[in-house]
Amino acid sequence: MGFSTSAAFAILGVCLVVCIDIFSSSVLPAASELERSYKKLEDRIVERANTDIEITNVTKSPGKPYNISIKVENTGSVSLEVKDFTVIVNGTIEDFDYNLPYLYPENTVILNITNLTYTGLVRVKVVTGNGISDYETYSA
């Protein structure tokens, strides 16, 4: 009974060391990655909660096709990259030009869209890079 007991303890000891090695090399890095993911999610939630915009004016040029200028004000507390905005006119994503690369809090930016042919009451939606949006309508 002396040798078999020692051999069993040795086998169990080696198995325990292997299990600890597997745990430390796979589970711990995954837990660390999960923690980083939750931190990024928390940062996005805080940024989204502090983001707000308002379309203050939509100006239409005469003629057909026509151009519009959309004046957007940052009423939140987060600086926004204008290149990340999306402008939707009557359900269609439109390309646009802008006069400032960043929209700082309490500032405005002008978004210009050219060659539009919509008629009647037209709905404009501006969406920021993190999903906050505002709507406005104009008559064409």
pLDDT digits (tens, 9 = 90+) for 12-35: 888 888 888 777 777 777 778 888
Q: Is 64 helix (H, G, I), strand (E, B) or coil?
A: coil
The C-alpha angle 59, 61, 65, rounded to 5 degrees, equals 125
Residues 25 and 90 in one domain: no
Residues 133 and 104 in one domain: yes
pLDDT digits (tens, 9 = 90+) for 87-115: 999 999 999 999 999 999 999 999 999 99
Residues 89 and 106 in one domain: yes
Domain at 100, CATH number: 2.60.40.1200
Report cis status (omega within 30 of 0) of the bond before 29. Answer: no
- The answer to whether residues 68 and 59 touch, using CB atoms and an 8 Å cutoff, is yes
Tally of domains in the chain: 2
Q: What is the pTM of this model?
A: 0.74
Residues 64 and 117 in one domain: yes
Residues 100 and 129 in one domain: yes
- Give the pair of three-digit tokens for residue 8: 């069993």
Residues 99 and 33 in one domain: no
Residue 11's domain comprises: 1-49
